């Protein structure tokens, strides 16, 4: 307490002022802080190195190439993981409670907007009757969902949902059917009148 307060090294009083005064404003001419200079020079060095690595000497992989490599790698993993899926397996899955609840969850969030939660069809076709457009066997459905039918507005869900989820959804749909049931192939789907709300008045 009795000791006098230590003078900080950086007292403004020691600094020399530049002679000029602008509307009462004066300026010191302090040295540039060293850490600040280091960040400036460091960023410059990094910039040169980065440019050299990716552009001047083309050592680094360009982003599009890197992406393609990454996608190829994951495609290989997917191919390895994909076990044999068959009609038989999917029918079997359609009795598994756990599979069905998972399939229902995916169906309700992804498919129900077009096919309705009860699968009776809205924008997309009815899935509980025995009329089918692209084949009615479990493996046919799996293919339709995975690859989509772009001409009719069915998006390919393979890259979005993945094999596992699609198989669960197929199992969930097939829980509404049984093996050996009659399959009638029809050209397309027309929503029944009254299902779709009328357009607004003019």
182 binds another protein (CB under 8 A): no
| Chosen residue from 88, 130, 164, 186 binding another protein by CB under 8 A | 164
Considering the complex, state which of residue 153 and residue 179 has its C-beta at the smaller distance from another protein: 153
Residue 62 or residue 179: which is nearer to another protein going by CB?
A: 62
Residues 29-48 that bind another protein (CB under 8 A): 29-33, 36-37, 39-40, 43-44, 46-47
Query: Alpha carbon of 61 to those of 50, 67, 71, 180: distances in Å?
Result: 12, 10, 15, 54
Residue closer to another protein (CB basis): 91 or 132? 132
> Residue 155 contacts by C-beta under 8 Å, 6 or more apart in sequence?
148
Size of the site for another protein (CB under 8 A): 71
Interface with another protein, residue 69, by CB under 8 A: no
Q: How far apart are CA 197 and CA 40, in angstroms?
A: 64
Nearest to another protein of 114, 175 (CB atom) = 114
State the helix-helix crossing angle for 63-81 and 158-174, rounded to 10 degrees.
20
The stretch near another protein (CB under 8 A) out of 62-70, 89-97, 127-135, 174-182 is: 62-70
Round to whole Å and give the CA distance between 89 and 138: 9
Rounded to the nearest whole angstrom, what is the least distance from the CB of residue 62 to another protein in the complex? 5
**Cβ–Cβ contacts within 10 Å for residue 102, how many?**
18
- 51 burial type by CB count under 10 A (0-12 exposed, 13-18 middle, 19+ buried): exposed
Q: Interface with another protein includes 74 (CB under 8 A)?
A: yes
For the CB of residue 18, give the shortest distance to another protein in the complex, in Å.
6
CA distance 65 to 109: 34
Stretch touching another protein by CB under 8 A, among 16-24, 96-104, 129-137, 172-180: 16-24
């Amino acid at each position: 307490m009795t000791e006098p307060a230590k003078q900080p090294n950086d007292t403004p009083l020691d600094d020399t002022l530049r002679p000029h005064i602008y509307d009462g404003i004066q300026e010191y001419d302090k040295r540039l802080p060293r850490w600040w200079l280091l960040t400036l020079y460091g960023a410059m060095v990094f910039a040169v190195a980065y440019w050299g690595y990716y552009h001047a000497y083309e050592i680094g992989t360009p982003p599009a190439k890197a992406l393609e490599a990454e996608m190829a790698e994951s495609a290989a993993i997917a191919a390895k993981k994909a076990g044999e899926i068959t009609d038989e397996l999917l029918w079997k899955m359609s009795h598994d409670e756990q599979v069905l609840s998972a399939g229902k969850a995916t169906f309700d969030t992804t498919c129900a907007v077009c096919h309705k939660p009860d699968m009776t069809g809205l924008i997309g076709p009815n899935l509980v009757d025995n009329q089918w457009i692209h084949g009615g066997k479990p493996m046919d459905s799996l293919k339709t969902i995975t690859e989509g039918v772009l001409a009719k507005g069915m998006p390919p869900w393979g890259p979005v949902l993945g094999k596992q989820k699609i198989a669960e959804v197929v199992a969930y749909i097939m829980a509404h059917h049984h093996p050996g049931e009659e399959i009638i192939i029809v050209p397309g789907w027309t929503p029944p009148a009254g299902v779709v709300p009328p357009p607004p008045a003019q």
